[in-house]
Structure 1
Amino acid sequence: MHLYIAYKNYSSWSLRPWLAMKVAGIPFAETLLPFAHGNSLKQFSEQHGLPAQVPVLIVEDLVIWDSLAILEYLAECYPERQLWPESGALRALARSAAAEMHSGFNALRSQFPMNCRTEKAVAPSDAVTQELQRLAEIWARFEQADKPKGPFLAGEFSNVDAMFAPVMWRVRNYGLTVSPAFDRWVQAMYDLPAMQEWLASARAETWQMPSYER
């Protein structure tokens, strides 16, 4: 099982399956393709007939691209790791939130690119403020749900937390405000040993992307 990713400092999509696999204890090899500093990603995409995007998970002859598709595949292959909540109702809620994250929050993504190394206060636009309010609504819905005890959205860490993991960096590192419930989740995510491993690697990277450093 081999996961192909991009820069750990900047690649929000790469973080999602990487973190889920680390937290779940699923063994894998990884290769980082620094797409803005060479042609490794272009060559990889041409080799496998894919868009020049990561993450990509390769399992023997099977190629899975897109973060959410990888997370669904892992949940099917490792049901004992409970990458989705056991409760049907809670699982439906988690999948709904993950899908909304997958296709939405475009203003937040645009104004606040993921950058694990930066910490600075930036005032959000009106569009971002609306999306932060939507995050608060999602977190309130999970707070009201019947779920196991635990600091994560569905109690225990699951794929929905992996999908929102880049939002943790955006909100935390740019001094944004969502809600007290969201703040508790941010701290739990930040404290994960896997997240600290990702952060250490991000800090060790020497590549710079000016569009992410503005």
Structure 2
Amino acid sequence: MTSSTRPTLVIGNKNFSSWSLRPWLLLKHFDVDFAEIRLPLDTPEFYATIGRYSPTGRVPVLQDGELVVWDSLAILEYSNERWLEGAGWPADRATRAHARAVSAEMHSGFQALRSECPMDCVRRTRDPISAEARRDVDRIATLWRDCRNRYGGPFLFGGFSIADAMYAPVALRITSYGIDVGPIEREYVGALLGLPALKSWLADAEAEQRNAHKATR
């Protein structure tokens, strides 16, 4: 989907910025034409530049003409109305309410998992996680199983939706940190990893890290 006004999405490093991934993935999956500005997190360049784009000094932030939208979920909602004609949420009202609740829980919760296992796309370890982080994983697994059993998959609400964009960084954490989950959860992780848009993000993340290693030699 294209627009006469090309929006700009300002994001952080693709290897590390989980909040940037969420709106980027939705826009790419639905073929929205947008410009991308990538700022390396926690660098002098980031702090010198981010104020031009974001009132909060954080990423992601979307610019659409004169409009500035910050916060990942707000960008997802706006993008759904602006370019997707509502396709980012399930068509059924009750299912849509369920998808919004699942997405909001991701937006506000799971702090232990986030802090212990920050997104690092190229990482491959099997480090133990705390009981608190395990509780987060178990709750997420319950959500995923319920949605997959209720709506039939391959994604949480049948077809790809904003809810899947919200949980994509969790799938990457499970892969990066070797977190044990059940077969239904592994199938869902596989469905997300099979998305062409997510494959593109991961390829860019790997390239970032290769270039970073070269720069430090």
* 1:181 Cα deviation after fit: 1.5
Distance 1:58 1:134, change over 3 A: same
Matches for 1:11-90 after TM superposition, within 5 Å: 11-45=17-51, 47-48=52-53, 50-80=55-85, 82-90=87-95
CA–CA distance in 2 between the matches of 1:81 and 1:194?
Answer: 19
Q: After superposition, what is the alpha-carbon deviation per residue over 1:81-116, rounded to whole angstroms, capped at 9, x for unaligned?
A: 610011111111111011000010000001101001
SS in 1 for 2:68: strand
Q: After superposition, what is the alpha-carbon deviation per residue over 1:57-99, rounded to whole angstroms, capped at 9, x for unaligned?
A: 0000000000000000011113436100111111111110110
1:132 is the counterpart of 2:114: no
Distance 1:21 1:89, change over 3 A: same
CA–CA distance in 2 between the matches of 1:40 and 1:154?
Answer: 36
1:189 is the counterpart of 2:185: no
Name the residue aligned to 1:3.
9
Taking structure 1 as the reference length, the TM-score comes to 0.90
The number of equivalent residue pairs is 205
Name the residue aligned to 2:161.
158
* 1:150 Cα deviation after fit: 3.8
CA–CA distance in 1 between the matches of 2:57 and 2:88?
Answer: 27
Amino acid at match of 2:27: M
Distance 1:49 1:118, change over 3 A: closer
Q: Is the 8 A contact 2:90 2:157 kept in 1?
A: yes
CA–CA distance in 1 between the matches of 2:56 and 2:212?
Answer: 22
Q: Is the 8 A contact 1:24 1:81 kept in 2?
A: no
CA RMSD between the two structures? 1.6
* 1:196 Cα deviation after fit: 0.9
Q: Unaligned regions of 5+ residues in structure 1, if any?
A: 209-214
* 1:49 Cα deviation after fit: 6.1
Name the residue aligned to 1:211.
none
Name the residue aligned to 1:107.
112
Q: Is the 8 A contact 1:7 1:34 kept in 2?
A: yes
Give aligned-pair identity as a percent.
Answer: 44
Q: Unaligned regions of 5+ residues in structure 2, if any?
A: 1-6
Q: Is the 8 A contact 2:50 2:58 kept in 1?
A: no
Q: Is the 8 A contact 1:64 1:70 kept in 2?
A: yes
Q: Is the 8 A contact 1:41 1:53 kept in 2?
A: no
CA–CA distance in 1 between the matches of 2:11 and 2:116?
Answer: 23
Runs of 4+ with >6 A deviation:
none
Q: After superposition, what is the alpha-carbon deviation per residue over 1:163-185, rounded to whole angstroms, capped at 9, x for unaligned?
A: 01110111111111232211111
SS in 2 for 1:3: strand
